[in-house]
């Protein structure tokens, strides 16, 4: 079932974005008076087609679903001498250079416009997100000594080299981040976004936080620490930051399970397992999962008093990225939901925020591409259709809001990639036309042919790299 949902989510996402991209080319071509011969979703052999409109444009579905195209009347693709004069006037290369630039640029601009519409709709609707309250991991060696309480963490910062960057900077669990580099943040995604930008720009991240009982405070994550981060995966986790979660209070105990047999009750506050302090429900689950079949001492606070319980997590088989593993379960539920907030925006605010989000995403994407070219960021970040399909399925299962946000992000990525100055892409054609504007004459046909071959070779190389990375992630 998950596989079918993933495939459907991928097809809907990529298919709709391809259609909107090509509609951009089509509508502007018609507006500029160019005759459109075919509108195709997909590449290669046409498997279905119908003709519509005064020009009898062929609307087609082609065999390869990764792409699409708009075929216009073009003298470079055949002899048009037999056509009547009224049709020759509508031939693509006979249009002035500014019309050709508008037609080519319309596809990527359509992708950006769709992203703005989607983000604006989500901002007006109001998206429920975790607030920007953080939990801070002390370090691999220092975590046990740090304890679970934020007060203890504030008093005893570890000096060990294993202390995380966030801990060394002075941040502590329970801090509410209100600004990064003087940019206000209210939710976790805004905090992550601003820290990612600082990491890409290799700049210091100055954080303003509200600490319970101490008021407003200021801390900084150094530029050299952020510059050294591997931007693949959980970047904030590598800094020692996580979403703050509630105290690990037992919410439900299932009948007949290990938790009930050990005497665990609803509203018990979990303090430690096997001597290891428990900071939140996630930490408790991790310890229990790793203790399959082992008897551990679980210390709880009940009615204000500590109580030790002997508990043996039941061993069960579970699937993971590495296959089937044995995990421990106790048949109890612990509080996990972080503090959430819904921030709806007015239509004007939503459009402004959406445009800013699209612009920031474009600039961040270009910076990442630049860093990959100079070797500062791993080529493992190049992803292909398999990874996109996987994320499409995951976000679809998470809900409509997550899925629409994913579609908006992919739309921006498609727009940026198509604007890269690579022959055969829209950006390559825009480069040719820009040179024509500067020189007053078209790019020589021979140069165009050579550039096309180079562009196809480069695209094939990128596609092979993307597919290789996709397969490597699966394995």
DSSP letters for 355-399: HHHHHHHHHHHHHHHHHHHTTSS-GGG---HHHHHHHHHHHHHH-
Beta partners for residue 219, in sequence order: 207
Helix/strand/coil for 109: helix
Helix/strand/coil for 200: helix
Conformational region of residue 319, where left means phi above 0, alpha means psi within -120 to 50, and beta covers everything else: beta
Catalytically annotated residue among 22, 204, 376, 449: 22
- Measured CA to CA in angstroms, residue 423 lies from 21, 69, 431, 451 at distances of 18, 15, 9, 6
3-state percent helix, strand, coil for the chain, nearest multiple of 5:
50, 25, 30
Active-site residue 22, yes or no? yes
Give the CA angle between residues 268, 271, 276 to the nearest 5°.
Answer: 145
34, 116, 430, 363 alpha-carbon torsion, rounded to 10°: 180
Q: How far apart are the first and last CA of the chain?
A: 21
> H/E element holding 82?
none
State the Cα–Cα distance between residues 102 and 28, nearest whole angstrom.
7
State the Cα–Cα distance between residues 232 and 240, nearest whole angstrom.
15
417, 418, 424, 427 alpha-carbon torsion, rounded to 10°: -110
Q: Which residues are known catalytic residues?
A: 22
């Amino acid at each position: 079932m998950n596989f079918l949902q993933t495939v459907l989510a991928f097809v809907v996402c990529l298919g709709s974005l391809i259609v909107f991209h090509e509609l951009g080319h089509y509508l502007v071509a018609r507006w500029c008076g160019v005759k459109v011969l075919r509108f195709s979703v997909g590449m290669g052999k046409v498997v279905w087609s119908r003709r519509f409109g005064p020009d009898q444009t062929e609307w087609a579905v082609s065999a390869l679903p990764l792409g699409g195209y708009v075929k216009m009347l073009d003298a470079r693709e055949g002899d048009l001498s037999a056509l009547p004069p009224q049709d020759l006037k509508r031939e693509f290369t006979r249009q002035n250079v500014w019309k050709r630039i508008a037609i080519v640029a319309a596809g990527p601009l359509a992708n950006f416009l769709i992203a703005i519409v989607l983000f604006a709709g989500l901002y007006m609707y109001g998206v429920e997100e975790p607030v920007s309250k953080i939990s801070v991991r002390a370090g691999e060696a220092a975590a046990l000594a740090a304890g679970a309480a934020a007060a203890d963490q504030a008093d005893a910062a570890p000096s060990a080299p294993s202390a995380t960057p966030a801990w060394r900077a002075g941040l502590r669990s329970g801090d509410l981040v209100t600004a990064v580099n003087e940019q206000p943040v209210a939710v976790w995604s805004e905090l992550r976004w601003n820290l990612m930008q600082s990491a890409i720009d290799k700049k210091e991240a100055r954080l303003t936080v509200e600490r319970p009982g101490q008021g407003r405070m200021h801390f900084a994550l150094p530029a050299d620490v952020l510059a050294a981060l591997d931007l693949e995966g959980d970047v904030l986790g590598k800094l020692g930051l996580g979403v703050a979660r509630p105290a690990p209070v037992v919410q439900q105990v299932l009948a007949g399970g290990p938790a009930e047999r050990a005497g665990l009750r609803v509203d018990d506050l979990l303090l430690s397992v096997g001597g290891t302090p428990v900071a939140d429900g996630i930490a408790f689950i991790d310890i229990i999962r790793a203790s399959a079949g082992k008897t551990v001492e679980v210390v709880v606070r009940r009615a204000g008093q500590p109580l030790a319980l002997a508990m043996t997590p039941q061993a069960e088989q579970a699937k993971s990225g590495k296959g089937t593993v044995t995990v421990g379960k106790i048949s109890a539920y612990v509080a996990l939901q972080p503090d959430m907030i819904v921030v709806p925006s007015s239509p004007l605010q939503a459009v402004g925020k959406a445009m800013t989000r699209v612009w920031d995403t474009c600039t961040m994407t270009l910076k990442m591409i630049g860093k990959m070219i100079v070797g500062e960021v791993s080529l493992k970040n190049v992803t292909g259709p398999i990874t996109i399909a996987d994320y499409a399925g995951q976000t679809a299962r998470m809900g409509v809001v997550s899925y629409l946000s994913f579609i908006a992000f992919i739309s921006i990525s498609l727009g940026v990639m198509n604007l890269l100055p690579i022959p055969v892409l829209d950006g390559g054609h825009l480069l040719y036309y820009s040179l024509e504007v500067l020189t007053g004459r078209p790019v020589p046909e021979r140069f165009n042919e050579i550039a096309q071959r180079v562009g196809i070779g480069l695209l094939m190389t990128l596609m092979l790299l993307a597919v290789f990375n996709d397969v490597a992630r699966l394995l």
